[in-house]
Amino acid sequence: MSSFALTIGGKAVTTTRQFDVLNPFDESIAGRCPEATLEHLERAVRSAREALPGWSSTPDAERAAKLMDIGQLIERHQAELSRLITLEQGKPQSGPGANFEVAGAAAWTRATASLNLPEETIQNDDVARIVIRRKPVGVVGSVTPWNWPLLIATWHVMPALRVGCTVVIKPSPFTPLSTLRLVELMNTVLPPGVINVVTGGAEIGASLTDYPGVDKLVFTGSIATGKRVMESASHSLKRVTLELGGNDAGIVLPGTNIAPLLEKLFWGCFINAGQTCAALKRLYVHDSQYAEVVQQFAAYVEEIPVGNGLDPKTLIGPISNRMQLEKAMALVEEARSRGARIVTGGKKPEGRGFVYPLTVIADATDEMRVVKEEQFAPVIPIVRYRTIEEAIRRANSLEVGLGGSVWGDDPEAAASYAGQLECGTAWVNQHGVINPMTPFGGVKCSGIGVEFGVDGLKEYTTVQALNVAR
Ligand code: NAD
């Protein structure tokens, strides 16, 4: 088994205490993770502060070139990183799984390297020259979740580094290993202290978000924790970007030819075993074709191999941890007890590990927890509706608004309905598809701020207006 260390100030740091990271397929030990103390956190923030003047004044083109090198480095370590992700998180090597995650991390890193934030001239005449400059916000504290550990780490870290910030990242204790290795690799390219990593759970996360030497927080995780992060941030008025939970609705318009859409609908719901913030989590289908859509969708779902992510035939891995498995089982049982029909799945196989079958729930209603709450599991409730206006109202009725989708034979007609959804991204005939140039973020309780593209880059900067009298 490989050994893992923290990286602080460019150096590998071992710790007195470690904790086990479990392989969700069979609960074997995927690796031992060093456990950071408050003292490690202090050292990490100090290193990031010390590295800030040098990194923020490094020529822009040089920073971009370093990021390009990191993209290449991630690519060169594709096999190693992707195996680590399967072992600690469960997603398969095949399909849109661990290899897809590593390739995405490399692609996002390069795309971020290619972005620019040039000075903007507001006025330039005989009265004044006014320009707007973007300056790095300072030291960034990043806290990441367990669902896409490497990809989300790159989403946090690369834009921060691109504009000249330095970073302390804390990954989820369920999936810290790929991040520890990523930061170790990045330190072969970057000056010491530019990126540092500490590990642990809620306690060290809370200390990082409260730490006075940190200027900005970027957090991806649950709404409940996001609120705590924002409260901590208020103590020293740190800037925040919060990417929180969602409960995305998908609406199939009446009369839609569903067969050609099944594959995209499947991945929209079940990518990463449903453990994706912007996965489709409630499917609204018109009364007139409800039975047909349920039957065709369930038949498609039943053909997909679920199991050990290291088996190349597997397309969906286990649920990532026991806590999430237990939540999924409780939601399915509540729906069953209230009269929902479990068309396929719904029962965990005997034995160790967190594999749960792909589950399609028919006759689900908005009152059931599996519809009201984010399942974050391979479970999709299908809900009946009678008018499109009613479906949109019900889709918009929750406190969250990350994504949403409308499915239909006429994409422009579907787009006009999609525009009425209260969410950060509205898709047509697809769900969850993202790219590094398009801003991504939530409305309502799904978050504050955006990631990706120039708008995402700006989140790591402060604005300075330079106003020169003539
Ligand atoms: P979580 O909120 O439990 O944990 C996220 C991270 O916060 C972990 O690193 C955890 O150790 C840390 N943490 C816990 N308590 C903390 C505290 N008090 N202060 C600071 N840090 C603390 O979330 P999770 O279970 O890891 O992730 C699942 C959730 O994340 C889902 O709700 C999902 O929708 C959401 N998510 C959102 C996006 C998005 O982009 N919007 C992406 C992925 C996941």
pLDDT in tens, 439-455: 999 999 999 999 999 99
Mean pLDDT across the chain, nearest whole number?
98
Q: Which helix (H) or strand (E) holds 74?
A: helix 60-76
User: Residue 356 pLDDT > 70, yes or no?
Assistant: yes
Residue percentage of the chain with pLDDT more than 90: 99
- Ligand 1 centroid to residue 80 C-alpha, Å: 25
- Ligand 1 centroid to residue 227 C-alpha, Å: 11
Cα separations in angstroms, 356 against 263, 320, 339: 20, 10, 21
Task: Please tell me the pTM assigned to this model.
Answer: 0.98
- Give the closest residue (by CA) to ligand 1 atom 11: 201
- CB burial of residue 126 (10 Å; 0-12, 13-18, 19+): exposed
Partners of 13 in beta bridges: 6
Please report which residue ranges of 307-426 form alpha helices under DSSP H.
Answer: 322-337, 369-372, 388-395, 411-418
Q: Beta-carbon neighbour count of residue 237 at 10 Å?
A: 8
- Asked if 33 is an active-site residue, the reply is no
User: Residue 466 pLDDT > 60, yes or no?
Assistant: yes
Q: What is the biggest distance separating any 2 CA atoms in the chain, rounded to whole angstroms?
A: 79
Residue 87 has a pLDDT of 98
Helix axes 149-163, 60-76, angle to 10 degrees: 160
Residue-wise pLDDT for 156-188, tens only, equals 999 999 999 999 999 999 999 999 999 999 999
**Residues in the chain, overall count:** 470
Residue 2 has a pLDDT of 74
Residue-wise pLDDT for 127-149, tens only, equals 999 999 999 999 999 999 999 99
- Asked if 165 is an active-site residue, the reply is no
User: Residue 1 pLDDT > 80, yes or no?
Assistant: no
Going along 77-138, which residue ranges are E strands? 120-124, 128-136
User: Residue 217 pLDDT > 80, yes or no?
Assistant: yes
- Ligand 1 centroid to residue 144 C-alpha, Å: 6
- Ligand 1 centroid to residue 220 C-alpha, Å: 5
Whether residue 201 has its Cβ less than 6 Å from ligand 1: yes
The rounded distance, in Å, linking the Cα atoms of 368 and 252 is: 20
Whether residue 447 has its Cβ less than 6 Å from ligand 1: yes
Residue-wise pLDDT for 303-342, tens only, equals 999 999 999 999 999 999 999 999 999 999 999 999 999 9
Q: Beta-carbon neighbour count of residue 470 at 10 Å?
A: 9
Sole residue written with tokens 């790219």: 435
Query: Are 408 and 387 in contact, with CB atoms under 8 Å apart?
Result: no
- Neighbouring residues of 156: CB distance < 8 A, sequence distance ≥ 6: 140, 142, 144, 167, 169, 218, 220
- Give the closest residue (by CA) to ligand 1 atom 8: 172
The average pLDDT across 41-69 equals 98
Residue-wise pLDDT for 260-286, tens only, equals 999 999 999 999 999 999 999 999 999
Task: Place 45 in a pLDDT band, splitting at 50, 70 and 90.
Answer: very high
Cα separations in angstroms, 285 against 193, 225, 294, 362, 371: 52, 33, 9, 10, 14
Residue 327 has a pLDDT of 98
Q: Beta-carbon neighbour count of residue 434 at 10 Å?
A: 18
Partners of 196 in beta bridges: 168
Q: Are strands 11-13 and 6-8 parallel, antiparallel or unpaired?
A: antiparallel
Residue type, 400: V
Active-site residue, from 35, 243, 374, 459: 243
Residue-wise pLDDT for 375-422, tens only, equals 999 999 999 999 999 999 999 999 999 999 999 999 999 999 999 999
Sole residue written with tokens 């330190």: 187
Residue 3 has a pLDDT of 84
All domains in the chain, ordered by first residue: 2-244+446-469 (3.40.605.10), 248-435 (3.40.309.10)
